[in-house]
Amino acid sequence: MKDNITLRPIIPEDEDFLYLVYASTREEELAPLGWNSDEKEKFLRMQFNAQHRFYQERFSNAEFQVICLDSRPIGRLYVDRRGDEIRIVDIALLPGYRNAGIGTSLLKALLVEAARKGLPVRIHVEHFNRALHLYKRLGFLISGENGVYYLLEWTPPSSCSSAPVAFTDKKNIEGKE
């Protein structure tokens, strides 16, 4: 991981920052709707609050962390380490820090941990998410679909031969079989 990137647990005082991170991930999607700033704010606050509550309830044992660069908050990383997988609940960076290798570095660290433990890494990603290219580059495959989300899975190299689902049964990131 990059030397000046650190993780720390979220605290209640992070809520406004976490909202900004969330809202920044929806900007492109909401732009064509023509909503004024108040309409966007109300919608995004409602969506953020619902997502935040869902994550806290559904993934009660997860680590909810703020990604920091030189001690400045720049994103969030939520990871649920289970006995049978490492589930990335969410990873998001503020726009000014995207495409700088930070997400790649964090994901690679999780893959190293997963390989050491012999566990797959899974994450749900929206079909239109630009990060799909990153996940493909890191070796994730589509192992399922749920509405607008792909379930992506990375399997440690040592367990590929014993994987219950053969490569031909999974789609690659581009949806080809």
The tens digit of pLDDT for each residue in 65-123 reads 999 999 999 999 999 999 999 999 999 999 999 999 999 999 999 999 999 999 999 99
Average pLDDT on 49-70 reads 96
pLDDT of residue 29: 78
Overall pTM > 0.95: no
**How far is 90 from 78, CA to CA, in rounded Å?**
5
pLDDT of residue 166: 34
- Which ranges constitute the DSSP H helices of the chain? 15-30, 37-58, 102-117, 132-137
